[in-house]
Amino acid sequence: MGFFIPPKDIVEIQKLQNKSLSEIDSSVIQKIKSDVKQNVSSSKAEISIVVIAYNEENQILACVASLARSQANLPVEVIVVNNNSNDNTQLILDTIGVKSIIETKQGYGFARQAGLEAASGKYVLTCDADTLYQPEWAQKMIEPLEAEEGVIETYSFGSYYADNFKYDFGLLLYQYIKFGNFLMLHRKRPHLNVRGFSMAFRKHDVVNAGGYANKEGRGEDGMLSFELSQVGKLVLVRDSKAVVYTSSRGVLIDGSLYKGFIKRAKDNLSYLHNYFTSAKPE
């Protein structure tokens, strides 16, 4: 369970968050630009990593910096979908030279669909702007898809980083409980575990399934995953190098870890049957 706590390289990249470009040493910016060009800007990409972003000027640099370190056996491109940001998100993207497109229709599903259409790779991996990725993440995510045609989608566990860099016992305990819930759901309803911050699939499979049509709001990732689960296998990538690290701000939206835990415990109890029964197509 040591993967709950972000490794040192992730913590270092996290330090890029909540800073303007002028606050970051020019050599760091140049290194990110170089990594983007060298590692994730292939004109013959077979892996397309798609990040969606709306007003993410505080997060997007760190996210792309983590992805720019990607080490995969196939050529990679990163595409950032700017979903109508009115802050400095686009300025940051232009500064570091990462490929970006603008989607004017507001919403998760619209942004995901725009990224899907722009992707040139056989494999598409989806990301969120407040999430940080290990160098081996992309490779680990596509390996089950390469190995078995019956696998239609992969996903991995999302651990939390501490936004204040103070990874206390409460957050660690929350992670253990979350992980237990994650493993239980995986047995019967894996689509409920899938999050857009870490999923991978073959582009043609999702296009054939209709993409993100009619999935404009939150939950677009789970809805798509449920549809895919009806025609193929969803695989949890258990390798620790596939774990991603995302902001704990969503947990704290209820006011504290304790309140967040209580709310989610009540939610889980109300859906207790999900642990023991498989979902049926409508």
282 within some domain: no
278 or 199: which leads in pLDDT:
199
Mean pLDDT on 1-24: 91
27 within some domain: yes
**How confident is the model over 68-103, as pLDDT tens digits?**
999 999 999 999 999 999 999 999 999 999 999 999
How many angstroms separate the CA atoms of 179 and 110, rounded?
Answer: 30
Which pLDDT score is estimated for 263? Answer: 56
198 within some domain: yes
- β partners of residue 131: 246
Residues 133, 67: contact at Cβ < 8 Å?
Answer: yes
Report whether pLDDT(189) > 90: no
54 or 163: which leads in pLDDT:
54
Which pLDDT score is estimated for 60? Answer: 98
Which pLDDT score is estimated for 255? Answer: 55
Which pLDDT score is estimated for 282? Answer: 47
How many angstroms separate the CA atoms of 143 and 147, rounded?
Answer: 6
Report whether pLDDT(259) > 70: no
Lookup: tokens for 208: 């054939």
18 within some domain: yes
**How confident is the model over 101-139, as pLDDT tens digits?**
999 999 999 999 999 999 999 999 999 999 999 999 999
What is the pLDDT confidence band of residue 257, given thresholds at 50, 70 and 90? low
Report whether pLDDT(162) > 90: no
Mean pLDDT over the full length of the chain: 88
Check which CATH number belongs to the domain holding 8 and give it: 3.90.550.10
191 or 100: which leads in pLDDT:
100
- β partners of residue 127: 51
Report whether pLDDT(261) > 60: no
69 within some domain: yes
276 within some domain: no
Q: Which domain holds residue 43?
A: 2-249
How many angstroms separate the CA atoms of 175 and 44, rounded?
Answer: 39
Report whether pLDDT(2) > 70: no
271 within some domain: no
What is the pLDDT confidence band of residue 250, given thresholds at 50, 70 and 90? low
Report whether pLDDT(272) > 50: no
Count of domains in the chain? 1
How many angstroms separate the CA atoms of 75 and 148, rounded?
Answer: 20
36 within some domain: yes
